Amino acid sequence: MSQAYSAEEEVAVAAVRRASHLTSAVFNKLVKNETLTKGDKSPVTVGDFAAQAVISSMLKHAFPEDPIVGEEDAAELRIESGKEMKDRIVALANEALTEELGLGDNQNWGIGPGQEKTDAEILDAIDRGNYEGGSSGRMWTIDPIDGTKGFLRGEQYAVCLSLIVDAQVQVGVIGCPNLPIDPANPEKGTGVIFKAVRGQGTHQLTLSGANPTPLRIPPSTPSTLAFLESVEAAHSKLSFNDRVASLLGIIRPPVRMDSQAKYGCLVRGEGGAYLRMPTGVGYREKIWDHAPGHILVEEAGGVVTDSRGEPLNFGLGRTLGENYGVIAAGKDIHPLVLGAVQKALAEETKAKV
Ligand SMILES: Nc1ncnc2c1ncn2[C@@H]1O[C@H](COP(=O)(O)O)[C@@H](OP(=O)(O)O)[C@H]1O
Ligand SMILES: [Mg+2]
Ligand SMILES: [Mg+2]
Ligand SMILES: [Mg+2]
């Protein structure tokens, strides 16, 4: 009998691979009018839309019944003012879908090079990401470019895909085109894929899908720990992390990095703990920003909770609901970090009264 979710894993890695190639190629060619500002003031580029179209098209081919919770939608591309961008996205997506990447010829799963798609098919593929989520059944999450701000700066970003079944993440794949393959040996270059399947561990692959290497979070102590945190101060309360670090006697400065590449770094032993606390503006975390990273950490022997010590709930819809932050770390150090977070929160409450 084949391993559980082996077809899903194969398709997910292939889809992330194609989308990762697309995004890194697009970065070098990106021009100014190829970025839009969304309603929440965040950026979205032709790369985000095209990568979501590619992943969604491949998922439809392999698993036509599965709903998708995707970050982007095509509304802006369906109106006259979006025509130029739409044309570019259709061309990019078709290029990526038909490219020969040596992924095998399993046409049943749509992994090998496919046929060109029409404009309508590409827009519909993007809009298939409109599922509202929920606590039962299968669903995929797509964050075609996580860390769009990092992507635009030429820094870290990640192509993120997960399969959630009955509110449990079962498969997670994260492509990080700009991440060093081996941080100790920068000459090895950049571009990695992290993958995890429930019960089967976490692995790092090259961006070409080769050399699967198992990953376990190594033990750490406050003297070796550094927080992995956002670059963007608007995304998490960085001053809070500083307070927690001082309560724990952490000496190393935080490692700031955009996107779920942070979860990838955590599982391969960089940093030691991921900490993301709300900034207080009422933002709700999105499931596509955490589901793949969450399973990478759990399958590498780590623990992920919110600041109350509760598990994250992926069954509430497109968001994680009320925002109590995210703490991810190896299982030895997680209780220590959680304790310090709760102490820092209690200090804040005390300072307010
Ligand atoms: N106020 C806020 N609080 C927390 N996260 C936010 C936020 N505003 C945007 N984000 C999310 O932060 C993600 C990036 O996380 P990070 O800071 O770890 O790189 C963004 O993903 P996208 O770049 O996919 O839009 C976006 O979904
Ligand atoms: Mg975004
Ligand atoms: Mg994101
Ligand atoms: Mg995104």
Residues 3-44 pLDDT 10s: 899 999 999 999 999 999 999 999 988 887 889 999 999 999
Centroid of ligand 2 to alpha carbon of 175 (angstroms): 16
Of the bound ligands, which one is closest to the alpha carbon of residue 145?
4
Q: Specify the pLDDT at position 113.
A: 85
DSSP helix, strand, coil percent of the chain (3-state; round to 5): 40, 20, 40
Q: For a substitution probing ligand 1, which of 232, 287, 306 has the most ligand atoms within 8 Å of its CB?
A: 232
Place of tokens 């697009």: 26
Centroid of ligand 2 to alpha carbon of 112 (angstroms): 28
Q: Specify the pLDDT at position 1.
A: 54
Give the whole-angstrom CA distance, residue 313 versus residue 305: 10
Which one-letter amino acid corresponds to residue 92? L
Catalytic center residues: 48, 148
ipTM value: 0.99
Q: Specify the pLDDT at position 246.
A: 98
Q: Specify the pLDDT at position 166.
A: 98
Centroid of ligand 1 to alpha carbon of 283 (angstroms): 10
Give the whole-angstrom CA distance, residue 201 versus residue 299: 5
What is the pairing mode between strands 138-146 and 68-70?
parallel
Q: Specify the pLDDT at position 106.
A: 62
DSSP string, 97-109: HH---S----GGG
Q: Specify the pLDDT at position 33.
A: 81
Q: Which residues in the chain come in under a pLDDT of 50?
A: none
- pTM for this model (two decimals): 0.97
Of the bound ligands, which one is closest to the alpha carbon of residue 259?
1
> Would you call 265 helix, strand, or coil by DSSP?
helix
Question: Which burial class, exposed, middle or buried, applies to 216 when counting CB atoms under 10 A from its CB (0-12, 13-18, 19+)?
Answer: middle
Residue nearest to atom 10 of ligand 1 (CA): 235
Give the whole-angstrom CA distance, residue 198 versus residue 146: 22
Residue nearest to atom 4 of ligand 1 (CA): 235
Q: Where are the beta strands (DSSP E) in the chain?
A: 35-37, 43-45, 68-70, 138-146, 158-165, 168-180, 190-197, 202-206, 213-215, 226-229, 255-256, 272-276, 302-305, 326-330
- Give the tokens for residue 157: 């970003």
